[in-house]
Amino acid sequence: SQQGEEDPQALSIQEGENATMNCSYKTSINNLQWYRQNSGRGLVHLILIRSNEREKHSGRLRVTLDTSKKSSSLLITASRAADTASYFCATEGGKLIFGQGTELSVKP
Amino acid sequence: GAGVSQSPRYKVAKRGQDVALRCDPISGHVSLFWYQQALGQGPEFLTYFQNEAQLDKSGLPSDRFFAERPEGSVSTLKIQRTQQEDSAVYLCASSLGRGSYNEKLFFGSGTQLSVL
């Protein structure tokens, strides 16, 4: 069973545009993490946001967390073709539980 | 090592065959996780080790799946009498501390298992 659900399932944008992905989860959390997975590769950690934080930035990434709505969003600004990948949110409960991911395609 | 290493990268097995998948975590990492990822899906938790102790195996789909980490470093995931539904990518991840709480995981590239 998966705790998180990402929305949309797939997103296609032009280089330079912003990409926004959303994640909803079911139970209370201590933190939420976002990971990226390039085709045929393992997952790479992007950012961790704690339950007492509302927003966090890392380079071109901006993550928000709304614990009252049990949701998080990942914004990638000024997207590049190299950002093409699947993006997953993950919540902990003793072990990381991943959603099904958003497949992002950035066209040059 | 520099990262989490998994072998083999690809494994093709005939239905009924036993397979063993290896994971070399980052040196010094206490926690080790196995995940199963079906095509187009997110990783599904299988099992978790803290050093050599298997603290959680709630995600193992059946008693055909067995994992060990006897010396607290390298881990092996064994699948007995493989079936077609076992076809998936098996991901290994490690983290420095004693669990995923407030910690990021470092993933290997996975073993893609195809059962014919």
Average pLDDT over residues B2-9: 95
Residue of A47, A86, A91, A95 to mutate, testing the B interface (most B Cβ within 10 Å of its Cβ): A95
SS3 B11: strand
Half-sphere CA count of A104, side-chain side, radius 13 A: 30
Nearest residue on chain A to B89, judged by CA atoms? Answer: A40
Q: List C-alpha distances in Å: B3 to A18, A42, B44.
A: 31, 11, 21
Kindly state whether B39 is in contact with chain A, defined as any CB-CB distance less than 8 angstroms.
Answer: no
Average pLDDT over residues A30-34: 90
Is B5:B91 a contact under the CB 8 Å cutoff? no
Contacts of A37 (CB under 8 A, 6+ apart): A43, A44, A85, A86, A87, A88, A101
Which residues of chain B neighbour A44 with C-beta distances below 8 Å? Answer: 107
Residue with tokens 């330079």: A16
Q: Could you tell me where the beta strands, DSSP code E, fall in chain B?
A: 5-7, 10-13, 19-24, 31-37, 44-50, 53-56, 65-68, 75-79, 88-95, 106-107, 111-115
pLDDT higher than threshold 90 for residue A6: no
Average pLDDT over residues A49-56: 94
What per-residue confidence (pLDDT) applies to A1?
Answer: 47
**Residue ranges of chain A whose CB lies within 8 Å of a chain B CB:** 2, 4, 30-31, 33, 35, 40-45, 48, 50, 88, 92, 94-101
Kindly state whether B2 is in contact with chain A, defined as any CB-CB distance less than 8 angstroms.
Answer: no
Cross-chain residue pair A94–B99, CB shorter than 8 Å: yes
Which residues of chain B neighbour A10 with C-beta distances below 8 Å? Answer: none
Tell me the pLDDT tens digit for each residue of B67-90. 999 999 999 999 999 999 999 999
Which residues of chain A neighbour B109 with C-beta distances below 8 Å? Answer: 40-42
What per-residue confidence (pLDDT) applies to B30?
Answer: 93
Cross-chain residue pair B109–A99, CB shorter than 8 Å: no
What per-residue confidence (pLDDT) applies to A35?
Answer: 94
Sheet holding B19-24, edge to edge: B5-7, B19-24, B75-79, B65-68
Average pLDDT over residues A27-44: 90
What per-residue confidence (pLDDT) applies to A26?
Answer: 86
What per-residue confidence (pLDDT) applies to A40?
Answer: 86
Nearest residue on chain B to A4, judged by CA atoms? Answer: B42
Residue of A96, A97, A98, A103 to mutate, testing the B interface (most B Cβ within 10 Å of its Cβ): A96
> Quick one: A53 exposed, middle or buried, by C-beta within 10 A (0-12, 13-18, 19+)?
middle
As given in the structure block, the two tokens for residue A9 are 């399932």
pLDDT band at B34 (very low <50, low <70, confident <90, very high): very high
What per-residue confidence (pLDDT) applies to A5?
Answer: 79
What per-residue confidence (pLDDT) applies to A93?
Answer: 58
Kindly state whether B42 is in contact with chain A, defined as any CB-CB distance less than 8 angstroms.
Answer: yes
What per-residue confidence (pLDDT) applies to B101?
Answer: 60
pLDDT higher than threshold 90 for residue A62: yes
